[in-house]
Each structure stands twice: as structure tokens, then as C-alpha cells.
Amino acid sequence: MKTTTLLSLLIVAALAACGDKAPPSDAAGSGPTTNAPAPAAVPAPVAAAVAAASAPAAASPADLAAGEKIYAASCVSCHGAAVMGAPKLGDKPSWTPRIAKGIDVLYANATNGLNLMPPRGGNAALKDEEIKSVVDFMVSKGR
């Protein structure tokens, strides 16, 4: 019965990812081209302080284990093989720019959806704390 339930969830997640969301503007994920001026350079000490402030507090081993279970049940179908632009688990070059945006941005993207990823990764039953634990797990593998 567990296999049937897991298979059903994977099918629902895959179908939910096929919504009418607009594709990313380019393959590099740099966003649309504009004529806006380039942002000013940020001094290294300030950049380091911002990065430290946006880094998640070290997740407990129990939270990471819970996140790993959720990842295996709900997220691996896309993030395990980089399906539809999903950053692959453990692929540091893909995760570095995302992690640099801050953990709160990652939590919000996972909760609300982004590009082709549906809200809550297609699993509406996930609670906010569960979303955070799976994001913490994935970030721990992407550093």
C-alpha cells in the first residue's frame, strides 16, 4: 500500500508542476534584461555580514532527518534529477546563488512556489515547519 500511496503522490506532484506558469526568462536564471543601472558594488565586509545574517541557524540533526524524509517523499522526483530547472540536490553551483539570497527567500519560494515549482512542492499537506526542514536539508547538501 505504501508503494501505491507514494506513486500516487509522485504522479500528483508531477502533474501539479505542469501548470500554466510562465517559464523562466532564460536558462541561466538571471531574469529579464532591463536598462536599469548595475547595482553598486558591496564592500566585502558588508557582503559577509549580510551573508551571515541570511544564513540559516544550524538545523538540528533531527530537523535534517525529518527534512530528508520529506525530500524523499515529495521533492526527489524533480530535485533528484534537475527536472524542469529544479536545482539538483547537492549541486553546489546551482545552489550557491539561491543560498546567497537568504534562507527566508528559500522558505518563501518553497512555500509559495517559483517558476515551474508549485506551492509546497505540490504537496499541500506539508506544514510550514516541514517545508522549512526540507529546505534546511537541501541547503545543507548544497553548501
**Domain architecture of the chain: domains with CATH:** 61-143 (1.10.760.10)
In the predicted structure, residue 28 carries a pLDDT above the cut 50:
no
| pLDDT at residue 29, as a whole number | 46
Mean pLDDT of 112-129: 95
Q: Could you tell me which of 78, 80, 137, 84 has the C-alpha nearest to residue 107?
A: 137
Helix H or strand E segment including 108: helix 103-112
| pLDDT at residue 58, as a whole number | 78
Report how far residue 53's alpha carbon sits from residue 107's, in angstroms, rounded to the nearest whole number. 15
56 or 135, which is more confident = 135
| pLDDT at residue 60, as a whole number | 92
